[in-house]
Amino acid sequence: MNMKPLAGKVALVSGASRGLGRAMALALAEAGANLALVARDASALSELQHAIVDAGGDAVSFVCDVTVESDVSRMATSVKERFGRIQILINNAGINIRKPITELTPADWRLVLDTNLTGAFLLCHSLVPLMVGQGYGRILNLTSIMSHVALAGRTAYAASKTGLLGFTKALALELAPEKITVNGISPGPVATAMNQPIIQDPQLNAQFIGRIPLGRWGEESEVARLAVYLCSEEAGFITGTDVLIDGGWTAQ
């Protein structure tokens, strides 16, 4: 097995400052990729950048709100100036607002949809021009098991992730002639910061673990390793699909 399967590739990860984004960025850097790190938290981005550089990698951070078109456009220009091109784009930035429909405000709804779905569109719109013409490319969209099943109180999140799955399939067909693959990764219950409200509630935590056939929360590193594989040359015939990594949740 090639120990540096992404050597020389330029990868951009949104929402890179924490959680799955951070884990994937570190894994891609270990696999040899040069990283463009995108998030809103300048301090956390800087810490991650230094961690990658100190380990012998190459990383540059770009503070950007993926819901703001001018922010994304400016960031894309900076990435082009720094790297010239990219081969890998991971649309990971996302939020979840857990509320019943009667308490979910229109502002809540727009924030979730703008971050999880429109943000992926804006990044692809601005960055795909830096990917075409190379005969290789990888786009990963962090979908969710909520693209396939649902839970009460997740209307905005489920709508955004289901929309992102449809976006993934259509974009895969559009970019196939460029040999750019587009896939989703649908994590199930993973012990991220977003899920801490559940993990820290003993009753809710027990309920969740009771519904996971493997009997545990997933680890961020497990999703990160999957991302590295899907970005590698070995995954070149996988496109337009969604890979569930959920401990068996959706098999029930």
Q: Give the integer Cα–Cα distance in Å for 189 and 207.
A: 12
pLDDT-based confidence at residue 194 (cuts at 50, 70, 90)? confident
| pLDDT > 90? residue 195 | no
pLDDT in tens, 109-152: 999 999 999 999 999 999 999 999 999 999 999 999 999 999 99
Q: Give the integer Cα–Cα distance in Å for 9 and 32.
A: 7
How far are the Cα atoms of 4, 33, 206, 231, 244 from residue 185, in angstroms, in the given order? Answer: 22, 19, 25, 12, 6
- pLDDT for position 227: 98
Domain 10-246 class in CATH:
alpha beta
Q: Give the integer Cα–Cα distance in Å for 72 and 100.
A: 31
- pLDDT for position 104: 98
Kindly state the average pLDDT of the residues 168-195: 95
CB neighbours (10 Å) of residue 118?
Answer: 18
- pLDDT for position 162: 98
- pLDDT for position 1: 55
Contacts of 169 (CB under 8 A, 6+ apart): 182, 240, 241
Is the distance from CB of 140 to CB of 183 less than 8 angstroms? yes
Is the distance from CB of 123 to CB of 66 less than 8 angstroms? yes
pLDDT over 90 percentage in the chain: 94
The mean predicted confidence, pLDDT, of the chain is 96
pLDDT-based confidence at residue 193 (cuts at 50, 70, 90)? confident
pLDDT over 70 percentage in the chain: 99
- pLDDT for position 3: 80
Q: Give the integer Cα–Cα distance in Å for 135 and 137.
A: 7
| pLDDT > 80? residue 49 | yes
Q: Give the integer Cα–Cα distance in Å for 187 and 130.
A: 28
Burial (CB < 10 A; 0-12, 13-18, 19+), residue 184, is buried
- pLDDT for position 86: 98
Question: Strand pairing partners for 242?
Answer: 184
pLDDT-based confidence at residue 2 (cuts at 50, 70, 90)? low
Q: Which residues have a catalytic role annotated?
A: 157
Of the two residues 54 and 196, the one the predictor is more confident about is 54
Q: Give the integer Cα–Cα distance in Å for 154 and 147.
A: 11
pLDDT-based confidence at residue 196 (cuts at 50, 70, 90)? confident
